[in-house]
Structure 1
């Protein structure tokens, strides 16, 4: 399972991307509870309210799941997922899904 967290916007309007490949069984056992704890269905309703000037917007992918959240909604399980991806993933600057 590939996990990608993209943070865009903010005052500088810079985009940063963190990605993690959970390939081994141990990796999947570690990441699946973090991913499954996130309220993916609720995030669909958040996507309509993501325009907030000078604030970050997070686009998150985990396998087939997708979510776009304003910075203020990155709390609880979302925050856990984002922080783990930042800490353990490889970082790049660019667009979600862009080839490097």
Structure 2
């Protein structure tokens, strides 16, 4: 016999959490931003996450005095990437900018 999922368990299954950590730079400071959008915004955030080329992230290799961005997205599965500042463009930039805006 199937039991319908409660609204709360459905919401937990669609929970999205994204963290962005920026390290490096001249001062070597570490910054952290975190977004955990409400359930009604989940589809938009899932789309931002899906558009990022997670399998192509590669090694950060930032170089001296450059930023390195560590991005972790949990949306039913966990994805992680580490990017040099020069590679933070396109979908990556959109995701990072959205997380930073949501965290402020």
Q: TM-score range by the shorter chain?
A: 0.7 to 0.9
Higher mean C-alpha displacement, 33-42 vs 49-58: 49-58
Please list every run of at least 4 consecutive aligned residues from structure 1 whose deviation after the TM superposition is greater than 3 angstroms.
none
1:83: how far off? 0.6
**Greater RCO (Cα-Cα under 8 Å, separation 6 or more):** 1
Structure 2 unaligned spans of 5+? 1-15
Among 68, 72, 77, the residue aligned to 1:61:
72
Greater Cα radius of gyration, structure 1 or 2: 2
Give me the TM-score of the superposition, normalised by structure 1: 0.81
Let me know the Cα RMSD of the aligned residues: 1.2
Q: Deviations along 1:17-45, whole A, 9 cap, x unmatched? A: 00001341x221120111100000001x2
Give runs of aligned pairs for residues 1-100 of structure 1, distance below 5 A: 1-24=16-39, 26-43=40-57, 45=58, 47=59, 49-63=60-74, 64-89=78-103
